[in-house]
Structure 1
């Protein structure tokens, strides 16, 4: 999955991305990525567990997963920030995806090992069913890597002017309608015609 080279388009003035650091990021981009990783991964895990249990534990399971996701995001965010800073010079998207997927899997495994026993009234980590790991670990990997990819693509589109949060895109229909209004507006006889 090749990405457009960072120098293909002139980046916006306030963009942290340069040819030397093609995947640098701002604090707000990092926070948006963290939110996407948390929300996306949590939602994926809730949906998959609902399907696996036939919807049986949708309400209780959702609450448990949401509670378990809070320590995961608290534990995982600092490491994700560090990884992002270390990889900001690497131009290969695949490297970022593999590293963030591995990191997401590690956080998923750690969270599952620590939180599931707490919900099961203090049973040992070794007694946690392998099914929890088989579901949570790969979904965490996909969620974290997917959040990085979405955040990176969005930042790149903002850089080239495709997504400008502060400005509206010109509306071709509105411009055409304004031209028609100007061309066919009724002129008051007392008003001088425009020329």
Structure 2
């Protein structure tokens, strides 16, 4: 059996009783989707923060020079933030599995988004408290703003990554119909020749 035949023979775990059931592969793909979404949102948040901070802290003549550190900061954040968030994703997969199993009979996507938003909020709050307690020693330190920038993308990344993965799964299960055939243009000369 070829790979194509094997993929066509795969049966969906979703039924009428459990419309939101999922497989282990779909769970893993969802976790990876959440992880990539988080890293992208983290880099965007850091970029915007650095641009705004550079623009407000310096005059406009030194603005370009103040952003020279941006590539290094983004590289370091992408590397370390990516590695740490990958471990957090691996730790969070069992929680996502429990939430998914608990909601597999619930067809409303809004309920799922709410549940995964709560999970993202718990992850973000935990990350913020750990960053604040270990790195800066006090919860009210001015550097806690950086902790918020690092933690807040998780609130959005978890439900957004789940939703993107759900869309991908539904597209593969129910591919869009082929586009309608374009009407053939009738060539008047050919029609005349055919009539002879």
Fold match by TM threshold 0.5: yes
Bigger relative contact order, structure 1 or 2 (CA pairs below 8 A, ≥6 apart): 2
Alignment length, in residue pairs?
Answer: 154
> 1:116–1:61: structure 2 CA closer, same or farther, 3 Å change rule?
farther
User: Is the CA contact 1:41–1:139 (under 8 Å) kept in the aligned structure 2?
Assistant: yes
Residue in structure 1 matched with residue 159 of structure 2 by the alignment: 145
**Structure 2: tracts of 5 or more residues without a match:** 1-8, 52-66, 182-196
Quick check: 1:20–1:89 contact (8 Å CA) kept in 2? yes
Q: Which shows bigger deviation, 85-94 or 146-155?
A: 146-155
Q: TM-score, normalised by structure 1?
A: 0.67
The partner residue of 1:63 within 65, 79, 82 is: 79
Question: Which residue is 2:116 aligned to?
Answer: 100
Q: Distance in 2 between matches of 1:74 and 1:115?
A: 19
Q: How does 1:19-168 map to 2 (within 5 A)?
A: 19-54=16-51, 56=70, 57-115=73-131, 120=135, 123-124=136-137, 126=139, 129-162=143-176
Q: Secondary structure of 1:126's match?
A: coil
TM-score (norm 2): 0.66
Tell me the SS of whatever aligns to 1:53. helix
Aligned-residue Cα RMSD (Å) equals 3.0
CA distance in 2, matches of 1:53, 1:116: 20
Change (3 A) 1:117 1:162: farther
Deviations 1:97-154 (A, max 9, x none): 0110110121122233335665x3xx43636644245434442121110111111122
Provide the rounded CA distance (Å) in 2 between the counterparts of 1:126 and 1:83.
30
| CA separation of 1:15 and 1:134: change in aligned 2, threshold 3 A | same
SS at match of 1:97: helix
Structure 2 residue 34 is matched with structure 1 residue 18: no
